[in-house]
Structures are given as structure tokens and as C-alpha cells.
Amino acid sequence: MTNQPRLRLESGTEAAWMLSGPSADKYPLVNEYLAYLTDRNYSPRTVRAYGYDLLAFCRWLETHSSGIDSVTTGTVLDFMRHCREASIAGRPANVLSMTGKRLDHYSATTINHRLAALTGLFTFRALREPELRNPIPSGREARRVSAEERNGLLGHLVRPKRRSALRLREPRRLPRPLDRRETADLLASLRTWRDRSIAGLMLLSGLRSGEILTLDVTDIDIGARWIRVFGKGAKERRVPLDVEVAGLIQTYLLTERPESTSTRLFLVAKGPHRGQPLTPAGLRTIFRYHRLKSGVLAGHPHALRHTFGTAMAEAGVDLAVMQALLGHAHVDTTARYIHLTPTHVKAEFDAARTRLHTRT
């Protein structure tokens, strides 16, 4: 294991993920591809995820004494079969999910993500060296959309999606919001103005964790109550700022934010890194502590964003407005929240039932 490549963050950077280790020099294409993703403004989390997917592939090649240049379609198929059949170390093999699936195997989402990483890697190589054959099989692609997509409210805007035959069917999971009690308990455990401001921006403005951490002081207009947010792919949008959250941020800036040369809004409050920008690991530590303290085990940062999206859907906010607020690139992603409106669904059901009884 010591001779296998590893993934590390290059010192002095925030997003330069690269392979390292004794055998990493056999895979320069992977590091060039990760650098390419960074240059294309992919988020550090996305580059890291692609890096670990490609690391798994490189380690599998090591066990088969093979290299990137010798990868064929058969090699890719063998790797995908390995991903479907491999067991995850440390997970019990005799435990099944409610659907009967073994929990010691990789999920369909993980396997599909590895396929996407390989597809991107060899597509990148084809751009640089067109004479080399792309080993990723194209498979049978869907030529038309499903009936549900074609007949939906925005069916006239849907384009056929190109799907690889290697992709596994993924279970459709809807975002899980926090209920009122969970939200109240989690917020009650927060003690600093910084942490309350962060939670408020997620819960009442729908910001992502990465967007929170990249906010500058100048991005907050407390007087006009607007936030300038740079989302995925460096896409800029303006989001309204709740009046209570504006008060929390103003108090944080006046009484709690350390003096620093950094322009970031949220900084480390104490310790040897005081005054430095808050990191993703630091944010995870904050929420992990308050999840345990409050007993709200579902209180992850993204759960607050899901709670915001659900509240907007239940309030009947227009789908296009929700898409603009949440910063989704595709309206299909926003549409998931429409299914999370049990209050609205029950009200419509009761109204229809009343009309039927009235007619009879």
C-alpha cells in the first residue's frame, strides 16, 4: 500500500489537488487533468472528488501492473465490474438495507461518479492527443426524453439527455429538510455571532457551504439587504438578505470579527489560526459539535439549505425565482423541492375531497 499513489493538497494552495507518492509519476495525465479542472473554475470539492475517483482507478491499475497509456475499453469494463463487486473494508457483509441491498458494496452514485471521472479524463486526453482512441465506450444513448419529462410543465424546454449504457440506475432521493423543532434546537445551540450568521445565511438565504466561506466583507450590503454570491463555476448572483440575519452579521462585524488582513467575512475566532479565513474543515467541525450538542443528528450545513428550499416551495414561490435564489444551473434540480410540500399537497387533497363530497 505504501508504494501506491495518494491524493494530497499541494502546499500553499486552496484547490491544487494532485497525486503523490512513489508511483505517482506514472500518471502525469491525472495531475494535468486535475489542474485543468482547477483552471476551469471547478470548485475545490469537485476537484477533490474527481481526484479520489481517479486515485481509485490508478490504484486498481497498480494491482494489475498496468498504466494509463495501455487502458482499453476492456480495461474500463473490468474496472467498472470491480467497482460493482468490491466490498468496502470495515462494513459488515451481513447487513442489508430496507431494499435488500448489501451495505458493504459501493452505491450506484459512487460507481457512476467514477465513470464520469474516467470519461472526463479520457475526453481531456482526446483534446490534447486526438490520434489516441478514447477507451470509454459510448454505449446506447437515449434518443428521446421520458414521457414524464416530455409532458411536464417545462417539457417543451427539455432536451434529450445523452446517457451511457454503463451508468447504473440511481435511487431518486429527495432533499430532507429539518422540521421546526430540529431547526429551533440546532439554532439554540449556537453561541457566537459568527455561527449564528452562518446558519442564518444558509437557512434564510439558501447559501451553500462553499459560498459562505468565499464571502468577502464587501459582498454584504447590510443597508440595502443584498448579498453578492459567487456560486459553482464562479457564477455570480444577488440574493436578498433577511433583516434579522443582517443584524447578526452587523453585530459580528462590530464585536466579534478578529482584526485581519483577509477580506473574507468569516474568520477563525481563536487559536493559532485566529484571523485566518474559515476553512471547509473548520465549518464541518462547527456543525459536528452543534449536532452532538443539540441532538439534531441531521443538522448538516446543506440540510439548512434544503430547509430554505422547502419553505420557498411550500410558500408557493415561482420555480424560476427559486432557481435564481438557490443558484441552480438546471431547473430540474430546483423542481425536486416541489415534491417536498406535504402541507400544500394535503391542502389540495382535502379541498378536492370536499368538492367531491359536495357534488354527491
Q: Is 120 exposed, middle or buried (0-12, 13-18, 19+ CB in 10 A)?
A: middle
pLDDT, tens digit (0-9, with 9 covering 90-100), for 146-187:
444 445 555 555 555 555 656 666 666 667 889 999 999 999
Is position 293 annotated as part of the catalytic site? no
Q: Does 134 share its domain with 225?
A: no
Residue 15 — very low, low, confident or very high, per pLDDT cuts 50/70/90? low
Considering the candidates 232, 237, 264, 293, report the single residue annotated as catalytic: 232
Coil, strand or helix at 145: coil
Q: What is the CATH number of the domain that holds 44?
A: 1.10.150.130
Instruction: Let me know whether 130 and 15 are in one domain.
Output: yes
Residue 38: CB atoms within 10 A of its CB come to 20
Burial tier of 166 (Cβ tally within 10 Å: 0-12, 13-18, 19+):
middle
Distance CA 342, CA 348 (A): 10
Distance CA(59)–CA(86), nearest Å, equals 14
Residue 97 lies in a domain: no
**Residue type present at position 229:** V
Q: Is residue 96 part of a domain?
A: no
Residue 152 within any structural domain of the chain: no
> 295: domain CATH number?
1.10.443.10
Same domain? For 107 and 200 the reply is no
> pTM to 2 decimals?
0.69
State how far the Cα of 43 lies from the Cα of 355, in Å rounded to an integer: 51
Most confident of 228-232, 244-248, 347-351: 244-248
Q: Are 266 and 213 in contact (CB under 8 A)?
A: yes
pLDDT in tens, 311-334: 888 888 888 899 999 998 888 788
Claim to verify: residue 116 and residue 205 sit in the same structural domain: no
146 located within any domain: no
Return d(Cα 92, Cα 69) in angstroms, integer.
37
- Say if 32 falls within a structural domain: yes
Residue 353: inside a domain: no
**Is 232 annotated as catalytic?**
yes
**Which grid coordinates are listed for 342?**
406535504
Q: Which of 40, 161, 274, 302 is catalytic?
A: 302
Whole-angstrom distance, CA of residue 299 vs CA of residue 177: 9
Q: Give the SS3 label for residue 18.
A: strand
What local confidence, expressed as pLDDT, does residue 95 receive? 52
Provide the residue range defining the domain that includes 199: 180-343
125 and 184 inside one domain: no
**328 belongs to the catalytic site:** yes
Q: Do 334 and 256 belong to one domain?
A: yes
352: in domain: no
Q: Are residues 129 and 187 in the same domain?
A: no
Which residue has better confidence, 96 or 137?
Answer: 137
How many H helices and E strands in the chain?
14, 5
Structure-block grid coordinates of residue 306 = 434544503
Q: Using only C-alpha atoms, what is the Rg of the chain?
A: 24
Separation between Cα atoms, residue 137 and residue 46, nearest integer Å: 24
60 and 193 assigned to the same domain: no
Q: Are residues 316 and 229 located together in one domain of the fold? A: yes
pLDDT digits (tens, 9 = 90+) for 102-139: 566 788 888 899 999 999 999 999 998 988 888 887 65
Same-domain status, 338 and 208: yes
Of the candidates 345, 353, 355, the one whose C-alpha atom is nearest the C-alpha of residue 316 is: 345
Residue with cell 478514447: 134
The answer to whether residue 337 is catalytic is yes
Cell digits for 9? 493538497
Whether residues 228 and 107 share a domain: the answer is no
The CA-atom distances, in angstroms, between 295 and each of 31, 176, 277, 299, 336 are: 41, 17, 28, 9, 27
Instruction: Read off φ and ψ for residue 20, nearest 5 degrees.
Output: -140, 175
CB burial string 124-158: b at 16+ within 10 A, e below: bbeeeeeeeeebbeeeeeeeeeeeebeeeeeeeeb
Catalytic residue among 196, 257, 305, 306: 305
Tally the residues of the chain. 360
- Say if 171 falls within a structural domain: no
Average of per-residue pLDDT values in the chain = 82
Give the number of domains in the chain.
2
Residue 3 has pLDDT above 70, yes or no: no
**How many angstroms separate the CA atoms of 76 and 53, rounded?**
13
Residue tagged active-site, from 50, 106, 252, 337: 337
**Residue tagged active-site, from 208, 257, 290, 306:** 208
Instruction: Say whether both 185 and 334 belong to one domain.
Output: yes
User: pLDDT tens, 347-356?
Assistant: 667 777 787 7
